Amino acid sequence: MNQVAPQHDPRRLIPRTDALLALPEVAAARRRLSADTVVERVRAIQERARRGELPPQEVAAAVIADLTRARASAQTPVLNATGVVVHTNLGRAPLSRAAVSAMVDAAGYVDVELDLESGVRGKRGARTRSALLAACPAAGDALAVNNGAAALVLATTALAAGREVVVSRGELIEIGAGFRLPDLIASTGARLREVGTTNRTHLSDYADAIGPDTGCLLKVHPSNFTVSGFTSAAPVSELAQVARDRGVPLVVDVGSGLLAPDRTLPDEPDAATMLNDGADLVTASGDKLLGGPQAGLVLGRADLVQRLSRHPLARAVRIDKLALAALEATVAGPTAPVVEYLHADPERLRARAQALAAAVDGTVVEHDGRVGGGGAPGVPLPGYAVRLPESIAARLRTGTPSVLPRVHDGFTLIDLRCVPEADDSRLAEAVRAAMRAD
């Protein structure tokens, strides 16, 4: 085998690290990335050239291309073309511009726990609390924590640690990523007292289970599924009367975060109705139908909310300043994207789909969107999609911009419900690029 003389080794032509770092484009990247990150990426490309995967004369161009694309965060913005409004894999609710602006402001020093007039320490999250109470007047007080599960854990810990939580067997649900309600409650130190059966639980089942060791009654909205047929459940209004008569608090977890009724989702529980029906506390998520950041909401009786806020666990599940700002802006600001997408005009969706289909040689088909995130399971959101070859789906996901379509029955479906109309031209160009590579 012939040996390459060291002086003729093509690897000697690989640009030096200091020469690559001196390139103007690389210097510009150091304003977005740490110095260590830039050096690591440069050396990775040099190593590709040493392995013979890249000609030495192309190293500089490869470094420039790589660092031009690189961002400090590896999370990739995605155009949601699935028709699923609250898409858990895409981060659930997209924030409104007002919420994004509020988060940017909160990224610096802000008066999150300071009264600027007096100069003394203020109550954390006071303005977010006020915004929630204005949006849900049925609540005596409000508390925000870091997610929906934390809200429920805090409530059951503060009310029933070392005691019993009475709950229907039909509501012992499993939520996302395999987390099960029984395990969640058990982690608080409370004991589950299961009543009724999977399909039928009566008011008398709760009443018979209440005793001196009962910490609270718990009613949970069964997200992600429905039970039909021979079923029975105790209404909150009747359950609340039993709870009051026996001096036991009633906690209702509505899950998806509606603060008030929505005619589009008539069977989806909301906080205001549950509180008006007599629930003492309502817990919910902030990043689902409310359309805000990841957060957990506790709304209800002022004395109980204050009891939760003083519990030591409240510190462990405390919401951060960025989410507090975004939550306030979501509740007090303009209509959130989630609400707009839920109520999108089907005729406008059809017109947009027809324009896209004409631009990419696709076919417009009827397509029902979905709420997602456990909200309103089985409820269709009438709309339209553009049908294209299945083969382009992977290229859409990995293109620029990244587009997540729905793949169904051997076709790629592009549903514009959750795509901002201002992005229609970007979406069309992404589809054309994927089609050209087909």
**Residue range 68-90: average pLDDT?**
93
Quote the tokens at residue 433.
Answer: 């690029």
Q: What is the pLDDT of residues 121-171, one digit of tens each?
A: 999 999 999 999 999 999 999 999 999 999 999 999 999 999 999 999 998
The mean of the pLDDT values for the chain is 93
Cβ atoms of residues 86 and 338 within 8 Å: yes
Instruction: Verify that 360 and 322 share a domain, yes or no.
Output: no
Provide the residue range defining the domain that includes 160.
Answer: 96-333
Residue 56 clears pLDDT 80, i.e. is over it: yes
| Residue at 408 is within a domain | yes
| Residue at 272 is within a domain | yes
How many residues are present in the chain? 438
Question: Which residues pair with residue 120 across a beta bridge?
Answer: 115
Domain boundary among 305, 333, 361: 333
Cβ atoms of residues 320 and 330 within 8 Å: no
DSSP 38-49: HHHHHHHHHHHH
Q: What is the pLDDT of residues 211-224, one digit of tens each?
A: 999 999 999 988 76
Sign of torsion, CA 208 213 217 223?
Answer: negative
**Residue with token string 């051997």:** 410
Is the link from the previous residue into 10 a cis peptide, with omega within 30 of 0? no
**Neighbouring residues of 3: CB distance < 8 A, sequence distance ≥ 6:** none
Instruction: Verify that 141 and 251 share a domain, yes or no.
Output: yes
**Residue with token string 């969107």:** 369
* Range name among 6-20, 94-108, 413-427 with the lowest pLDDT average: 6-20
Instruction: Verify that 263 and 381 share a domain, yes or no.
Output: no
Instruction: Verify that 289 and 348 share a domain, yes or no.
Output: no
Element (H, E) at 326: helix 321-332
| CATH code for the domain in which residue 225 is found | 3.40.640.10
Q: What is the pLDDT of residues 376-418, one digit of tens each?
A: 888 999 999 999 999 999 999 999 999 999 999 999 999 999 9
In this prediction, residue 137 carries a pLDDT of 97
Quote the tokens at residue 90.
Answer: 């895409």
The total number of structural domains in the chain stands at 3
Alpha-helical (H) ranges within 181-282 are 181-186, 203-209, 236-246, 271-276
Sign of torsion, CA 184 187 188 190?
Answer: positive
Q: How confident is the model at residue 1 (pLDDT cuts 50, 70, 90)?
A: very low
Cβ atoms of residues 133 and 141 within 8 Å: yes
- Residue 194 CB-half CA count within 13 A: 12
In this prediction, residue 8 carries a pLDDT of 65
Q: How confident is the model at residue 35 (pLDDT cuts 50, 70, 90)?
A: very high
DSSP 48-64: HHHTTSS-GGGHHHHHH
pTM of the predicted model as reported, rounded to 2 decimal places: 0.90
Element (H, E) at 365: strand 363-366
Q: How confident is the model at residue 6 (pLDDT cuts 50, 70, 90)?
A: low
| Sequence-separated contacts (24+) of 50-57 with Cβ below 8 Å | 50/11, 50/14, 55/10, 56/10, 56/11, 56/13, 56/14, 56/15, 57/13
Cβ atoms of residues 219 and 252 within 8 Å: yes
Instruction: Verify that 316 and 357 share a domain, yes or no.
Output: no
Q: How confident is the model at residue 230 (pLDDT cuts 50, 70, 90)?
A: confident
| Residue at 3 is within a domain | no
Instruction: Verify that 275 and 373 share a domain, yes or no.
Output: no
**Neighbouring residues of 245: CB distance < 8 A, sequence distance ≥ 6:** none
Quote the tokens at residue 76.
Answer: 């990739």
Instruction: Verify that 104 and 53 share a domain, yes or no.
Output: no
DSSP state of 74: -
What is the distance between the alpha carbons of residues 366 and 415, in angstroms, rounded to a whole number? 10
Instruction: Verify that 292 and 169 share a domain, yes or no.
Output: yes
Comparing CA positions, the residue from 258, 255, 259, 257 lying closest to residue 139 is: 259
Instruction: Verify that 221 and 320 share a domain, yes or no.
Output: yes
Instruction: Verify that 105 and 224 share a domain, yes or no.
Output: yes
Instruction: Verify that 54 and 156 share a domain, yes or no.
Output: no
| CATH code for the domain in which residue 346 is found | 3.90.1150.180
Q: How confident is the model at residue 438 (pLDDT cuts 50, 70, 90)?
A: low
More confident residue, 375 or 146: 146
| Residue at 1 is within a domain | no
| Residue at 280 is within a domain | yes
| Residue at 276 is within a domain | yes
Instruction: Verify that 266 and 372 share a domain, yes or no.
Output: no
| Residue at 5 is within a domain | no
**Residue range 292-320: average pLDDT?**
97
What is the distance between the alpha carbons of residues 324 and 152, in angstroms, rounded to a whole number? 18
| Residue at 2 is within a domain | no
Domain boundary among 333, 366, 391: 333
Domain boundary among 309, 333, 357: 333
